[in-house]
Structure 1
Amino acid sequence: AIEVSAHKPYVRGEGIPADKYTIKPIDEEEIEFADFGFKLSIIEELMYIKGLLKPKFDLYEFADWYKDREIDIDEEGYDPIDEVIQYFKKLPIPKRLAPEITEIYQDGGNDIYMNLSPFSGGAVEFWDIECSDDIKHFPNLKKATLCYAKEHICDELIILGVDAEWI
């Protein structure tokens, strides 16, 4: 058998829209989070589970897109990558999406954590929920399954009317 193919050399970042991961201000009210770990749990639900927050962040694509320096995921992926942390910290979450949150489910294999630190093995405290203040933004939050939270958070969520448990 003879196979004929054309090889197009890979060009870093080619095919990724130039503004795909550029954070743009939104023309609506946004949620002001007190706790980064809580925000990450909300991003998991809105971006990866419900598909309501776009673009869907992909670490490997982001590393190809990012121009300020070369991000070596194989080398850096054992700890959270600073540029990725900054992306999620700056990412605006519209208030209109808050009613969509009825549950949060934390697991070491969640897409959000795999995009922050794909080789960490899940045993890290970088993204623990440290305070429950942000629950005030999510009136429909009724269930929380936790693995990245300080010990008091589960009890606080229960007191606030959320069916909360440890994974």
Structure 2
Amino acid sequence: MFRDFNFKLVVVEKLMYQDEVLTPAFRFADVVPGGDAWQYAYDRGLAYQVQPEARAYFEALEISPELLATVDELLLDGGLQVYQECAPVWDGEDDLFDITSLADLALVPGLRRVVNSEFLGPELRAELTSRGIEAA
């Protein structure tokens, strides 16, 4: 359904962690032995990477068209909860979660505003505004 994994993650952030309508909320610590997500990532040499278990979960996660239609605003920020669940050892200083395509905009027909859109770069910001979406 989604073509850009990172775009899907910001949609999940809105629905799962902000609006709390996509449930249950995924917690990476709940799926690792001992519940220490940070240590788990370090011990496996996976610091600063999306954890395979989290990627598999979010890639497989289905979101109904009805829920997608409720998304009117997306927030781009390095401190999103979904990023912490995907990469518990990540400092926001690289392009790990950069959105590279807005091909999935049709999946969120009610989207009206993207906050911190400067993280998208000028081309993607221009694409937002050309579609009538506020690039705040």
Hey, what's the Cα distance between the residues in 2 that align with 1:65 and 1:141? 39
Give the aligned partner of residue 24 of structure 2.
55
Deviation at 1:37, TM superposition (A): 1.3
CA deviations 1:29-69 (Å, max 9, x no partner) are: xxx11211111110000100011111101111121399xxx
Q: Give runs of aligned pairs for residues 2-151 of structure 1, distance below 5 A.
A: 32-64=1-33, 72-75=40-43, 76-145=46-115, 146=117, 148-149=119-120, 151=122
Deviation at 1:144, TM superposition (A): 0.3
CA deviations 1:85-114 (Å, max 9, x no partner) are: 121111111111112101000111110011
Hey, what's the Cα distance between the residues in 1 that align with 2:81 and 2:18? 9
5+ residue gaps, structure 1, are 1-31
Hey, what's the Cα distance between the residues in 2 that align with 1:152 and 1:57? 32
Contact 1:107 1:147 in 2 (8 A): no
Hey, what's the Cα distance between the residues in 2 that align with 1:47 and 1:65? 24
Give the aligned partner of residue 161 of structure 1.
132
CA RMSD of aligned residues (A): 2.1
Deviation at 1:148, TM superposition (A): 4.9
TM-score by length of 1: 0.70
In structure 2, which of residues 90, 109, 123 is the aligned counterpart of residue 152 of structure 1? 123
Hey, what's the Cα distance between the residues in 1 that align with 2:118 and 2:30? 27
Contact 1:100 1:140 in 2 (8 A): yes
Code of the aligned partner of 2:99:
I
Greater helix percent: which structure? 2
TM-score by length of 2: 0.84
| Identical-pair percentage | 28
5+ residue gaps, structure 2, are none
Q: Which has the higher contact order (CA 8 A, sep 6+)?
A: 2
**CA 1:40–1:53 in 2, change beyond 3 Å: closer, same or farther?**
same
CA deviations 1:6-49 (Å, max 9, x no partner) are: xxxxxxxxxxxxxxxxxxxxxxxxxx112111111100001000
